[in-house]
Amino acid sequence: MPLELYLDLHSQPCRSVFLFAQINKIPFEFKAVDLSAGEQYGEEFGKVSIIRKVPVLKDGDFILTESIAILQYLAAKHRTPDHWYPADLQKRARVDEFLSWQHTNIRTHGSKVFWFRGVVPAVTGAPVSKEKMDAAVEDLNASLKTFEDKFLQSRPFIIGDKISLADLVAIVEIMQPVGTGLDVFQGRPVLSAWRDRVKKELGVEVFDEAHKVIMNVDTLPQTFEKKGLPEF
């Protein structure tokens, strides 16, 4: 039975899993889940995961949620090149440190800006208040500053000379607000250079393929199954 990956490429953690599997030539069946239609709340998806989020991995009878766990599982099972999740104690710790920190920082703030700029106005017919928007952008900027000052610094990639899961997870999160017209790379030459390096390492074609659906605000879901709208 082939590996199944339940994905919606609007979702950042789905993109990191998609990219990782593609780059490492891990064969899988792409099981599309339409979040805007609320498919994650359907009966069928409920049999896959009661957490009702994506991505989900189904490897035979083994079902696994959470992109970080999925990436770690695929790296171990398919013995992907060491640099993705190094065996070296300190290098691995640095990857783990970023993977832990990002949940409630870049991920939260990047998501919020994406929703505020790209989806909420179309769905509700009204813009988000300036105060709320400014606060969200301010938080995102603070996260990006921390990313540059602490996690990246003057290194080519987060843990050194080679790309790892940390860069992969970082890039998909940082790309989230970009399609809504907020170019987070503008005025950030170090971040831009890192983005270019990561894109090159991943492969420009597969990177662009993964990011196609969120790169244009006009193509984002204009309606949203009410339950599918996250709360901020």
Partner 1 sequence: MVRTCEAQTRLSKLFQKMSLEMYLDLFSQPCRSVYIFAKKNDIQFDYKKISLFEGYQYSEEYGKINLLRKAPAIKDGDFCLAESVAIMLYLAEKFHTPDHWYPADLQKRARVNEYLSWQHSAIRIHGSKMLWFKLLIPKALGVEIPKEKIDNAVEDLNASLNLFEEKFLQDRPFIVGDQISLADLVAIVEIMQPVGAGMDVFENRPNLKAWKDRVRAEIGVELFDEAHQAILCAQESVKTMDPKRMEHFKPIILRYFLS
Q: Which residues of this chain interact with partner 1, rule CB under 8 A?
A: 50-51, 62, 64-69, 72-73, 76-77, 89-90, 92-94, 96-97, 99-101, 103-104, 108, 132, 135, 139, 146, 149-150
User: Which residue has tokens 């009661």?
Assistant: 50
In the complex, least distance from residue 222 CB atom to partner 1, rounded to whole angstroms: 27
Question: 134 or 183, CB closer to partner 1?
Answer: 134
User: Which residue has tokens 């907020």?
Assistant: 182
Question: 47 or 62, CB closer to partner 1?
Answer: 62
| 155 backbone φψ class: left, alpha, beta (φ>0; ψ -120 to 50) | beta
Question: 61 or 218, CB closer to partner 1?
Answer: 61
Strands 28-32 and 3-7, bridge-based pairing? parallel
Question: 29 or 149, CB closer to partner 1?
Answer: 149
Give the DSSP H/E element, type plus range, for residue 65: strand 62-65
In the complex, least distance from residue 64 CB atom to partner 1, rounded to whole angstroms: 5
The residues with which 63 forms a beta bridge, in sequence order, are: 58
In the complex, least distance from residue 209 CB atom to partner 1, rounded to whole angstroms: 25
- φ/ψ of residue 38, rounded to 5: 75, 20
Q: How many C-beta atoms surround the C-beta of residue 205 within 10 A?
A: 9
One-letter identity of residue 155: R
Distance CA 70, CA 67 (A): 5
One-letter identity of residue 187: G
List of residues 6+ apart from 68 with CB closer than 8 A:
13, 99, 165, 169
In the complex, least distance from residue 220 CB atom to partner 1, rounded to whole angstroms: 22
Question: 129 or 223, CB closer to partner 1?
Answer: 129
In the complex, least distance from residue 67 CB atom to partner 1, rounded to whole angstroms: 8
Question: 34 or 148, CB closer to partner 1?
Answer: 148
In the complex, least distance from residue 66 CB atom to partner 1, rounded to whole angstroms: 4
